[in-house]
């Protein structure tokens, strides 16, 4: 019995991250950098303010994250790119949301206005 308990504890330690989701890395940036900034946040509950994360931050598996682009003067949002794929539905939008089920790289592209 003394040998079984440590084995069970090890199995439990391995199972807990799978039960509650694993951390996913979310990296985001703006191109060109002088075009503006991008921020990311997620909600814990409707009663609390959103939790802001920095680029390279961790979120739980299947977390719903909102990305907000803030263009500098003379720029506007052109498109969003998620893991190297342009999201056509978000073109020109200042806000975009995704469920994070794997590590994700997000890039918002700004273009100069006339």
Write down the pLDDT at residue 18: 46
Please write the tens of the pLDDT for every residue from 3-32: 655 554 544 444 444 445 579 999 999 999
Q: Which residue has the higher pLDDT, 111 or 46?
A: 111
Tell me: the pLDDT tens digits for 28-79? 999 999 999 999 999 988 899 999 999 999 999 999 999 999 999 999 999 9
pLDDT score for 2: 58
pLDDT of residue 20: 55
Do 50 and 57 meet the contact criterion of CB atoms below 8 Å apart?
Answer: no
């Amino acid at each position: 019995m003394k040998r079984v308990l440590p084995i069970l504890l090890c199995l439990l330690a391995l199972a807990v991250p799978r039960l509650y989701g694993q951390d996913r890395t979310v990296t985001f940036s703006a191109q060109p950098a002088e075009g503006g900034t991008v921020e990311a946040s997620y909600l814990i509950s409707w009663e609390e303010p959103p939790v802001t994360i920095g680029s390279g931050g961790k979120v739980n598996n299947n977390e719903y994250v909102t990305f907000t682009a803030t263009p500098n003067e003379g720029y506007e949002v052109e498109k969003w790119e998620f893991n190297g794929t342009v999201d056509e539905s978000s073109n020109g939008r200042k806000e975009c949301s995704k469920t994070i089920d794997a590590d994700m790289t997000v890039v918002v592209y700004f273009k100069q206005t006339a």
